[in-house]
Amino acid sequence: MDVVFSELTVWHWVGLALILLAFEMMLGTFDLLWIAIAAATAAVYSLIAPDSMALWQYQVGVFTVASVIFLALGRRISMKLRNPPSTHPELNERNTSMVGKTAIVMSVFQGGFGRVKINDSEWRAQTDATTEFAIGDTVEITGVEGATVKVKSV
């Protein structure tokens, strides 16, 4: 085993980096990219390190430490690239976009529940049991829970 590793050169690390990059291009996970960069770092280390410090143990140590560091930092970077903050967080979220809008009471509230008209559709509405609304009153939507809107008087 020692014979195989005693001859690690720059080209071994470059070859490993290229193989990892090829697999990364096939998989597209970004994880192998950071490990390939660590292999390139080990190649640079083996190129510039003095002969006494370029032993295979040191090269593997540099590769291991660089892999952990680059993988940890790379995951943070790639997560930001994959999930950028939305400029329109309420886009396609009909329920959350209704909060703050007004509705018209369509039925008498009983036990805290009734019906309201929002734009062109009727919704089940909930309010606290003490508030009473007359048909035609305007109410404000304070939240949405499933298919029920929560309302309060304007």
pLDDT at 128: 82
Helix axes 31-48, 10-27, angle to 10 degrees: 170
Output the 3-class SS for 93-144: CHHHHCCCCEEEECCCCECCEEEEEECCEEEEEECCCCCCCCCCCEEEEEEE
Same domain (yes/no): 106, 149: yes
CATH (domain of 105): 2.40.50.140
pLDDT at 135: 92
pLDDT at 3: 61
CA 149/CA 112 separation, integer angstroms: 12
Phi and psi torsions of 116, nearest 5°: -130, 155
Q: Is the pTM of this model over 0.75?
A: no
- The answer to whether residue 75 is domain-embedded is yes
Same domain (yes/no): 146, 77: no
- The answer to whether residue 87 is domain-embedded is no
- The answer to whether residue 89 is domain-embedded is no
- The answer to whether residue 149 is domain-embedded is yes
Same domain (yes/no): 66, 10: yes
Same domain (yes/no): 41, 73: yes
Q: Exposed, middle or buried by CB within 10 Å (0-12, 13-18, 19+), for 13?
A: buried
State the residue range of the domain holding 36.
2-82
| 149 token code pair | 């809107």
Give which of 9, 24, 13 is closest to 78, Cα–Cα: 24
| 130 token code pair | 């003490």
Same domain (yes/no): 60, 127: no
At 10 the three-state DSSP class reads helix
* Tens-level pLDDT at each residue, the chain (154 residues): 556 556 788 999 999 999 999 999 999 888 899 999 999 999 999 999 877 777 888 999 999 999 999 999 998 888 887 777 777 766 777 777 788 899 999 998 988 899 999 988 999 999 987 788 889 999 999 999 888 999 998 8
Domain finish residue from 82, 107, 141: 82
Question: Which CA distances in Å does 25 have to 47, 73, 142?
Answer: 27, 20, 48
Q: What is the DSSP letter of 53?
A: G
Q: How many domains, in total, are found in the chain?
A: 2
